[in-house]
Structure 1
Amino acid sequence: MPPISPLYKINFDGALSSDLGAAGLGVVIRDSCGLVVGALAERIPIPISAAIVEALAFRRTLYFAKELSICELVCEGDAKVIIRALLSKELVHPEYGHVLQDSLVLANDFRICDFVHIKRIGNSVAHFLARRAKSGNELQVWLKAIFEDITLVSRDSLQFLSFLS
């Protein structure tokens, strides 16, 4: 579902690939009409765990939103442990607490910044970007004009979700 104007909805995801020795971060930003205004796929060195990748993906999401001058946003991710930690502000986890603390400091710079947990099926475009990032260039960014693969994944996921409801 698109967010209510003036909010932007940002989906984020992280994906590990131990065989490639890299992880991928995926971010997609949609406006209140549901149109993609920006997307990002970034390859990073492989961290210790999947939770750290998800925390790094969330922090990258906030930096990307700032780069695009977005001030009111809802961040959706499928990593329940990360979203739960952000909402409760319990950031003492030794692996990723420092990343989430940094993220909450960044989040204070926005007029509105909410965090929502969604199921993987609702996060398919960000997941696709994260997987694409693992074997691609270090950083790929699309603004307004997105490549055909994302359009197909986005359209297919919307059709599947409307079929379920």
Structure 2
Amino acid sequence: MGQSSDQTSSSSFWNRLWGIKASQATKSFLWRAATESLATNLNLFTRKMIESPLCPICSLEPESISHAIWSCSAAQDVWSMRSKRIQKLSIHAGPVKEILGPILAQFLPLEISEVATTAKAIWHRRNAWLFEQQFHSPSQPKTSSRLSSKWIAPPPNVFKVNLDAAIDRVNSKLGIGVAVRDSEGLFVATLCSSMDLDPDLLLGEVVAARRATSFCVELGLADFILEGDSLVVVQAVQHSEDSWSSSGVVIRDVQLMLSRTSRWSIQFIPREVNVLAHHLAKFGLSCSKECILIEDYPPCIQHLL
């Protein structure tokens, strides 16, 4: 029995999307937009995570994905400065897939690439406004390169696990952040959590390493690289030295878990490369219970992607 015309059309759409001449990150962004998976205010409001669905920039309409990257007046300011063919596209607030369909089918490859990179840049500009109170010129919507230019993806079939800890000294709390990504830089899972702990940064980093390691075990990862910005912790895990201090006992737990896994390594990276895990850890301080997202990430790190 053959495919229906709708199925064929849908298959053709996704093939064209993944065939765009753009970075994998840009194509992944468009895929999330076309599947209505971006964390706009409307989507978060529907999931009862925020109190208002209105656009954070214009405050006039619910912020659907198509509104955020296409029909909002702020987005249109950007599109109006692109190629003439793009400027002639009709403005409507339907699903992103309906907006992209004619573009992918009728535009030239270079024009499609321009649409893809512009849409992603508009989304980053929106996030910079929402999370950093910065709003860039329509002629040059700023994209973030803090991660893409420094974070190095792992080899195929290997997972990169970034971890960090954040300390709230006033309330004696520890925040833990873990991000697991694959060789294409796509999220496998993220974890944010908090726990009551004396404000000891070293112990906090060690506890974060233990939770990241146990998270890898829970996910069933067979080959992974742990990355953290605490050189002391990385060196302690790499070397077997018995210590009966609080940190030493936790390190021993980490080593025992790692000894039961197939392949692993741990390496030190500068804080500026570990910024994503750092933001997850800071967000973890506000979590009343552990937050684990599979193939997704919380809104607190959107402005970094």
TM-score, scaled relative to structure 2 = 0.49
Aligned to 2:233: 82
Equivalent of 1:114 in 242, 248, 265: 265
Residue 9 in 1 paired to residue 146 in 2?
no
- Deviation (angstroms), 1:146: 2.1
Aligned to 2:295: 144
Aligned to 1:39: 190
Distance 1:23 1:103 in 2: 18
Do 1:24 and 1:41's aligned partners in 2 also have CA atoms closer than 8 Å? yes
- Deviation (angstroms), 1:20: 2.4
Distance 1:93 1:123 in 2: 29
Residue-pair matches, total:
154
Do 1:10 and 1:27's aligned partners in 2 also have CA atoms closer than 8 Å? yes
Greater share of residues in strand: 1
Query: Quick check: 41-50 or 52-61, which moved more?
Result: 41-50
What amino acid does structure 2 have at the position aligned with 1:52? L
Aligned to 1:161: none
Distance 2:300 2:233 in 1: 28
1:147–1:11 distance in 2 versus 1, CA, 3 Å:
same
Distance 1:91 1:38 in 2: 32
Aligned-residue Cα RMSD (Å) equals 1.3
Distance 2:232 2:294 in 1: 30
1:123–1:150 distance in 2 versus 1, CA, 3 Å:
same
Do 1:9 and 1:73's aligned partners in 2 also have CA atoms closer than 8 Å? yes
- Deviation (angstroms), 1:71: 1.1
Do 1:17 and 1:46's aligned partners in 2 also have CA atoms closer than 8 Å? no
Aligned to 1:66: 217
Aligned to 2:256: 105
Note the alpha carbon deviations across 1:92-120, whole angstroms, 9 max, x for none. 26130000001100001211110100000
Q: Which 4+ residue blocks in structure 1 deviate beyond 4 angstroms?
A: none
Aligned to 1:160: none
Note the alpha carbon deviations across 1:39-95, whole angstroms, 9 max, x for none. 000101123511111111111011111111111100000011111111122242613
Aligned to 2:5: none
Aligned to 1:131: 282
Structure 2: stretches of 5+ with no match in the other structure: 1-151
Aligned to 1:162: none
Q: Which has the higher contact order (CA 8 A, sep 6+)?
A: 1
- Deviation (angstroms), 1:36: 1.0
Structure 1: stretches of 5+ with no match in the other structure: 156-165
What amino acid does structure 1 have at the position aligned with 2:153? P
Report SS of the residue matched to 1:96.
helix
What amino acid does structure 1 have at the position aligned with 2:290? L
Report SS of the residue matched to 1:149.
helix
Identical aligned residues as a percent:
26
What amino acid does structure 1 have at the position aligned with 2:207? L
Report SS of the residue matched to 1:99.
helix
